[in-house]
Structure 1
Amino acid sequence: MTESLGVLVGYDGSEGGERALAWAAEEAAARRLPLTICHVWQVVYPGFVMMPVDALEKSATELVEAAADKARSTHPGLTVTTRTISGSPAFNLVDQARDAALTVVGSVGMGAFRRALIGTVGSQVAAHGSGVITVVRGEDNPAGPVVVGLDGSPLSAAVLRAALEEAKARTARVVALCVYPESAEVKDAPFVEEDRLRDIARERFEAAVRAGAEDFPGVEVQPRFVDGDPVTELITASEGARVLVVGARRGGSLRKRLLGSSSEGAVHHALSPVTVVHPPEA
């Protein structure tokens, strides 16, 4: 990953695309990164009549250039580039994400069929993408905290760091959430009573949060250790949040290896935008 694209946003001109564009432009400006606006267009055959390719190319170019003008007018001084690609939106955005510091996608499109299509694209990019992917869904509360779900897995440190970086860029506080027992991994503790296992999990969680926060002295971090179902607790915590940050765990079945049951539940049901942090590519 080169991160040469800075903040990459998939844009289609829909309401969801406009929300994704606004979010991505704010992120790029706050992080002092360039913004890349990408539109992936496809040849369609309405009534078995192929639409002219040159007309589609021209329309795609006009669409992203208009979007770039919006971003520049909202954030003067922001470096904005555009690109148009022919093919599968999900496949191409996943491919482009390898060279982005952050990839942003929307969650809805235009009309009933388009809404389902864009929803599929967003979920596919979140599941199969690289690095850090944000799906702009739910309600965005600019004054809300950055909520991050941690489970003690090897990826947790990177997930926490992504949340802290977001909070620093947005001058927000962080709520670090660990749900026991489903999310907490307690190792090297055989033959220990359940209450003690819970204490060990909480202690390790709080120690990990303190260690991760050391590099971000100006960010307020509130650890929360709760009992319950991880998906339910993540969704509940997302209400009123600026963004919910989760990790993509790769273990178990193919579907879970690509995203993870808790992360998948968050992407589809969270009440705020969701950021998914993927493990580094081998």
Structure 2
Amino acid sequence: MNHLVTSRSIVVGVDGSEASAAALRWAAEQAAALRADVVAVHAWEATAPRVAPYAPVSVRPTPAQERDAAARLLTETLRRALGPRTAGAVRAELVEGQAVRVLLNRARGALMLALGRTVHGQGDAPDVGPVGRECLRHASVPVVAVPAPGPGTVPPRAVPRPSSAGGAEGPSDQVRAARGVPLRPGAR
């Protein structure tokens, strides 16, 4: 699949969880505020190597069935997170491969990578999971871990697009705006 990720893109890892749906919603709000687009990426791997060789053939899905299931998961998560109609600035990508490698590759050159995270009740410590940990360790762009909505969780809000006299902002201001740091008056 031909992928085009620009410095005006926010890449979102989608795994079908409520946490990834929350990351999609957050990324869509950020993208609107920053005039960026969203690239929703679902990485899937063939399960054939993980199925016991003595398992009946009926248990082993074909690669086409696995791809169709992955496409449904991505489509359903997009619908659940963003509604039946997604704006033209949201692009879905289904990629076969290891999730960490796919996400790091797709995020290269993007504005940021957004991932969902859950809270597991152990002192409310957020867990980004093994894929999130590896992305945090190796990403070449900022990684945002968006919490899944839960009891008493306030969903994160998008950073409003700063008004500037000249229009365009510099890259450092884009990053600061994405992190929620107020911009200097008149900054570009």
TM-score class, shorter: 0.5 to 0.7
Instruction: Provide the secondary structure at the position in 2 that maps to 1:135.
Output: strand
Alignment correspondent of 1:79: 89
- Aligned-partner residue type, residue 6 of structure 2: E
Please identify the structure whose Cα radius of gyration is greater.
Answer: 1
1:198-227 CA deviation, whole Å, 9 max, x = no partner?
xxxxxxxxxxxxxx735549xxxxxxxxxx
Native 8 Å contact 1:72 1:78 kept in 2: no
Answering whether residue 76 of structure 2 is matched by residue 63 of structure 1, we say no
Alignment correspondent of 1:136: 146
Alignment correspondent of 1:22: 25
- The unaligned stretches of length 5 or more in structure 2 are 120-126, 160-170
Instruction: Provide the secondary structure at the position in 1 that maps to 2:83.
Output: helix
- The unaligned stretches of length 5 or more in structure 1 are 110-116, 146-156, 168-172, 175-211, 218-282
Instruction: Give aligned pairs, total.
Output: 156
Work out which of the residue numbers 93, 111, 114 in structure 2 matches 1:104. 114
Question: Shift of the alpha carbon at 1:142?
Answer: 4.0
- Which has the higher relative contact order, 1 or 2, with Cα contacts under 8 A spaced 6 or more apart? 2
Quick one: distance in 2 between partners of 1:5 and 1:86? 24
Work out which of the residue numbers 174, 184, 188 in structure 2 matches 1:213. 184
Percent of residue pairs bearing the same amino acid type? 23
Question: Shift of the alpha carbon at 1:96?
Answer: 0.8
Quote the RMSD (CA, aligned, Å): 3.6
Answering whether residue 99 of structure 2 is matched by residue 89 of structure 1, we say yes
Alignment correspondent of 2:40: 37
Native 8 Å contact 1:10 1:17 kept in 2: yes
Instruction: Provide the secondary structure at the position in 2 that maps to 1:36.
Output: strand
Instruction: Provide the secondary structure at the position in 1 that maps to 2:61.
Output: coil
When residues 28 and 161 of structure 1 are mapped into structure 2, their CA distance, relative to the original with a 3 A threshold, is closer
When residues 32 and 17 of structure 1 are mapped into structure 2, their CA distance, relative to the original with a 3 A threshold, is same
- Aligned-partner residue type, residue 39 of structure 2: T
TM-score normalized by the length of structure 2: 0.65
Question: Shift of the alpha carbon at 1:13?
Answer: 0.4
- Aligned-partner residue type, residue 110 of structure 2: A
Native 8 Å contact 1:25 1:71 kept in 2: no
Quick one: distance in 1 between partners of 2:8 and 2:177? 22
Between Structure 1 and Structure 2, which shows a larger proportion of helix residues? 1
Quick one: distance in 1 between partners of 2:42 and 2:8? 14
TM-score normalized by the length of structure 1: 0.46
